[in-house]
Structure 1
Amino acid sequence: MMAPGPLHAVTVLEQCHVSPSPAPVAGQPRALPLTFFDLVFWDFPPVQRLFFYDNADLLDVRDFLLRELPRFKKSLAAALHHFYPLAGKLTCEMAEGVAPEVVFSDGDSVRLTVAVSSDDFHDLAGDHARDTARFRPLLPALPKHGGSRSQDVLAIQVTVFPRAGICIGTTLHHAVADGSSYVHFMKTWAAIHRLSLECRKPVGPESPPLFDRGVVRDDAGLRDAFVSDHRALFVAGDKRLADWDLSRRPGVLLATFRFTEIQLHRLGSHVESETSVRCSPYALACGAAWAGIVHARDSGSTDGAAASNARFGFVTGCKPRASPPIPANYFGNCLGLCRVEAKRSGLTAAAASAAIWRVIEGLVEEGRAFRDARGWVRCVREYASARAVTVAGSPKLGVYAVDFGALWGRPKKVEIPSVERTGALALAESGRDGGIEVGLALPRAEMEAFRAFYLDLFGSLK
């Protein structure tokens, strides 16, 4: 395993604010109440992604500032016209009488940071283990307002790597949008940027976002129950979400492990022979990664944790599972929480994959995705305190299709560095050779143990 590279300074060149342009039409709602789906993620760490776009013809920063930056600003403003709540502010209080909501006011904006880095672009955009500290300067913070009573929803940073490319970093509050809504915005921004250069005329999303909260039925009163849970947890001083956080530990590495279509086929045949279960590629990749992390943690553990059950959590899209179904272009969160447990001692990729697939299969039962919904807010904290492995992203989102065209095209690499704080697997469709890529943030010793597990697993399946 390669040693992490040295830390390089990032110099901020400009900070500006980009507002929706033109402003949203008068009839659009200015306040969006958080639904019960949103409230699950109300106090989660923000989701942070990095899109690396390579371009060796990018000679210097001045050229980017003069030629490219104005186009990025203009296309971003046009995309925010359609996704204007992303320029709004989120209530950060859960006090009595305070409604958790996203509010957009005239003049609201997204903070855009422009920076330059002397780090090695191609090294950062690789798969090998890299120190997570190298990614943090590429990620923007979410400003707070009014003594922390409200917070920006989205922040963006564009970092220039002379003679190499750019990195677009985003920080998004999870309570405002899930991965599907986020990628809808990113693809819209990229398409406006790409097509406005090609067609020289304004363009918009093929399917405009839907903000109508009335499409989310809540006959079980989950929203009120979740607000009550959040208030009770706040009063109790519950800090269990921090049990996932590795960002304060030195020597944490981020690496990508690829599960090609050929590897997944071989793994699927192995799992079926071992368990008689025919798994999806998603269950196979997640199961192998889950088993590898459990193995890596236990290989250096002396606290007897191996005697307990291992826990895994993932989300399922609930738009088609709701009754009535929620339109695909609905903007917000629409995810159900799914839980898996298995014997920790000697957990294999086959056993882990089969356990995950059995839960996925059970979701076909009508209403199954919502059966345990009332406990979602508290369940998340239980899983955090147990350091459960969870999932961020999905191979279905299509992050590698965020195509800015012309000089930039599609990203060379997409990372979710915020998994360092959430203990999650960063899943995406492979940007190179089909299959699924899995990003992990682990301490150095655990990363080395995981890599050995991964190589041994696929070495035995040839």
Structure 2
Amino acid sequence: MAMATLLETCRVLPPPTAELTVPLTFFDIRWIHFHPIRRLLFYDYPCSKEHFLDTLVPKLKQSLSLTLKHYLPLAGNLLYPLNIDDEKPVFRYVAGDSVSLTIAESSNGFDELVGNHARDADQFYDFVPEMPPVKLDEPNYKIVPVIALQVTLFPDSGICIGFANHHSIGDASSIVGFIRAWASITQHGGDDEFILTKQGDSSLPIFDRSVIKDPNGIDSIYWKVIRETPLKSSSFPLPTNRVRATFILHRADIKKLKDLVWAKKPGLVHVSSFVVTTSYVWTCFAKSGEELVADDVLEFFGFAVDTRARVDPPVPANYFGNCFGYGIAKIEHIKLVGEEGFVIAAEAIAEDIKNRVNNKDQVLKGAENWLSEFEKLSQVRILGVSGSPKFDLCSADFGWGRAKKLEVLSIDGENYSMSLCKSADSEGGLEIGLSLPKERMEAFAAIFADGLR
């Protein structure tokens, strides 16, 4: 298998600007030990190596510098205190801080990589940068870089933008905002457009932590637990022993699934595209397992919930950081894989959204216990979901059009997860990414296709 060839590694600095220190809220602290979030955007853009190196790369560096001016914490680091008794971690940007940018070239088949069929998961790590290691440059802190970027050329075929970020710096909404800003500034040759158009419905990012209310001091509760675990540098989970594949639910499929739920559960509210898509994938996934599972074993489905508009008072849409809770559904194995499994799953997910997720009094209830709840969830049979069609990352247009494919590499972890985004090829459709062992993927694909018939 051809590898990516490294052409250059450089550091990109924002224009000279004032220093900035931003505290971590409880939403951020809980992700300090989590693996980096790794994503790839593939663009169908045939260009020569000469044009890439002489024109595109300088433009991307220049626009990245300008983008970092608006997203300063990304150019900085997480400062992790070594003497942990008296202080908590912070994000800090000081003059000279920068982001690592790798430029590479690959002779891998572009069309093969952006296909939907099962492909070896390991090869995708050629296109995403390793996070720079944790450093001990200062006596009182470990210095933790929060983002790394890579741009890979497939000569005369396309370009891949790969990015890895520390989860504590920001959630999907925040990181997607940053990538879209970088794309807009690259496309327009400056940041006027980005500042004026207010990128979709949110303007420049805000880092003001006072918008996050924490009267019960959950940040201190979390920090007491988090600091017990030593901080270490991240690495790729290779070999993954997995294949990646993409499944598409077209608008007509989604309508059919909704009609099926409504026929059996006419009173159910919140039967959204998200609900029927995730329920359908969850049931197919449960049926695809080889191992024998006792009938009464509980199967869990977990999903992140952006709480910005769901708390009182609401948090501004352009708040940069983490701001999400989670939804959870659980069903006995025998019911989930049974004939009515899909409808039962849809009801369980829809009910959790109605009663907890969309309820301002409930969405953050019990947040002080989230760390121990997550610990328990890592021990059970669970399928998670990464990303949301609401944050349309593929719309990040660097001047090369809409991205042809999004691959979320972070779903290669030990627990199984699916990625979810708007479909590039099917208007109103959704694209589901999965990373599974080869045999299980084959079983899943057959069950998925069969169920839609």
TM-score (norm 2): 0.90
Shift of 1:149: 2.0
CA distance in 1, matches of 2:192, 2:227: 45
CA distance in 2, matches of 1:110, 1:68: 18
In structure 2, the residue matched to 1:36 is: 26
In structure 2, the residue matched to 1:375 is: 369
SS of alignment partner, residue 246 of structure 2:
strand
1:74-110 superposed Cα distances (whole Å, 9 cap, x missing partner): 1111111100110111134673334222111111111
CA distance in 2, matches of 1:119, 1:76: 26
1:45-99 superposed Cα distances (whole Å, 9 cap, x missing partner): 111110101122x12x233111110001011111111001101111346733342
1:295–1:325 CA distance, 2 compared to 1 (3 A): same
CA distance in 1, matches of 2:319, 2:261: 37
> Which one of 94, 110, 119 corresponds to residue 99 of structure 2?
110
1:225-255 superposed Cα distances (whole Å, 9 cap, x missing partner): 11122235x28x9x9xx9xx99456530111
Matches within 5 A, 1:242-391: 247-248=237-238, 251-276=241-266, 277-278=268-269, 279-297=271-289, 300-302=290-292, 304-347=293-336, 348-362=341-355, 363-391=357-385
SS of alignment partner, residue 263 of structure 1:
helix
Q: Which amino acid aligns with 2:205?
A: P
CA distance in 1, matches of 2:280, 2:80: 38
Q: Which amino acid aligns with 1:330?
A: Y
Matched, 1:79 2:67: yes
Matches within 5 A, 1:171-186: 171-186=164-179
> Which one of 137, 156, 174 corresponds to residue 149 of structure 2?
156
CA distance in 1, matches of 2:352, 2:206: 30
In structure 2, the residue matched to 1:455 is: 449
More moved, 439-448 vs 84-93:
84-93
In structure 2, the residue matched to 1:418 is: 410
Are the counterparts in 2 of residues 246 and 420 from structure 1 also a CA contact under 8 Å?
Answer: no
Structure 1 unpaired stretches of 5+: 1-6
SS of alignment partner, residue 415 of structure 1:
strand
Are the counterparts in 1 of residues 311 and 360 from structure 2 also a CA contact under 8 Å?
Answer: no
In structure 2, the residue matched to 1:427 is: 420
CA distance in 2, matches of 1:450, 1:383: 23
Are the counterparts in 1 of residues 386 and 417 from structure 2 also a CA contact under 8 Å?
Answer: yes
CA distance in 2, matches of 1:101, 1:447: 41
SS of alignment partner, residue 277 of structure 2:
helix
SS of alignment partner, residue 207 of structure 2:
coil
In structure 1, the residue matched to 2:8 is: 14
SS of alignment partner, residue 389 of structure 1:
strand
- Provide the aligned length of Structure 1 versus Structure 2: 432
Are the counterparts in 1 of residues 9 and 102 from structure 2 also a CA contact under 8 Å?
Answer: yes
1:290-340 superposed Cα distances (whole Å, 9 cap, x missing partner): 11221112xx103x3553100111111111222221111111011012221
CA distance in 2, matches of 1:293, 1:87: 39
Shift of 1:393: 0.5
CA distance in 1, matches of 2:4, 2:294: 41
Are the counterparts in 2 of residues 142 and 151 from structure 1 also a CA contact under 8 Å?
Answer: no
Shift of 1:455: 0.8
1:163-216 superposed Cα distances (whole Å, 9 cap, x missing partner): 1011000001111111111111111111111112xxx78544321110111111
1:2-34 superposed Cα distances (whole Å, 9 cap, x missing partner): xxxxx32111010000011x233x3xx611111
In structure 2, the residue matched to 1:222 is: 218
SS of alignment partner, residue 388 of structure 1:
strand
CA distance in 2, matches of 1:398, 1:152: 26
Are the counterparts in 2 of residues 75 and 189 from structure 1 also a CA contact under 8 Å?
Answer: yes
Q: Which amino acid aligns with 1:154?
A: I
CA distance in 1, matches of 2:97, 2:241: 39
More moved, 186-195 vs 318-327:
318-327
1:367–1:394 CA distance, 2 compared to 1 (3 A): same
Are the counterparts in 2 of residues 229 and 378 from structure 1 also a CA contact under 8 Å?
Answer: no
Q: Which amino acid aligns with 1:123?
A: E
> Which one of 50, 69, 79 corresponds to residue 40 of structure 2?
50
CA distance in 2, matches of 1:311, 1:250: 23
Shift of 1:364: 3.1
Are the counterparts in 2 of residues 37 and 333 from structure 1 also a CA contact under 8 Å?
Answer: yes
Are the counterparts in 2 of residues 393 and 426 from structure 1 also a CA contact under 8 Å?
Answer: yes
Are the counterparts in 2 of residues 256 and 437 from structure 1 also a CA contact under 8 Å?
Answer: yes
> Which one of 393, 404, 416 corresponds to residue 399 of structure 1?
393
Q: Which amino acid aligns with 2:180?
A: K
SS of alignment partner, residue 112 of structure 1:
strand
CA distance in 2, matches of 1:137, 1:42: 25
1:12–1:249 CA distance, 2 compared to 1 (3 A): closer
1:177–1:305 CA distance, 2 compared to 1 (3 A): farther
SS of alignment partner, residue 336 of structure 1:
strand
1:364–1:202 CA distance, 2 compared to 1 (3 A): closer
Are the counterparts in 1 of residues 250 and 430 from structure 2 also a CA contact under 8 Å?
Answer: yes
CA distance in 1, matches of 2:21, 2:416: 32
Structure 2 unpaired stretches of 5+: none
Shift of 1:367: 1.4
SS of alignment partner, residue 357 of structure 1:
helix
Q: Which amino acid aligns with 1:110?
A: V
